[in-house]
Copies of this chain bind each other. A is one copy, B any other.
Amino acid sequence: MARVIVDVMLKPEILDPQGQAIARALPRLGFAGVSAVRQGKRFEVDLEGPADDAALAEVRKMAETLLANPVIEDFTLRVAE
């Protein structure tokens, strides 16, 4: 049984209000030295079988159509060790 990680982030040119609100709050909370924060989603997809090419292609399609919104988000995909 393998696990595939799909990371989904807003495209860089899209406004990320959550990340901005966190970044703005940090100095007030006593954290210095952070120039920007972006917040995205992380999915752990557990497969019944091994993470072979066919399975990865399937997860990629899943990411494209369901996990990420291609209009505003990019995603990356990798097999968890």
Q: Which residues of A contact B (CB under 8 A)?
A: 1, 7-9, 19, 22, 25-26, 29, 31-49, 55, 58, 61-62, 65-67
Contact B40 A41 (CB under 8 A): yes
A48 and B31 CA atoms in complex are apart in Å by: 12
Q: Contacts A41-B39, A62-B26: A46 and B34 contacting too (C-beta < 8 A)?
A: yes
Residues of B within 8 A of A49 (CB): 33
19 A–B contacts from the bound complex (CB under 8 Å) = A7-B42, A19-B43, A22-B43, A22-B67, A29-B66, A31-B62, A33-B55, A33-B58, A34-B45, A34-B46, A34-B48, A35-B46, A37-B46, A38-B43, A38-B44, A39-B42, A40-B42, A41-B41, A41-B42
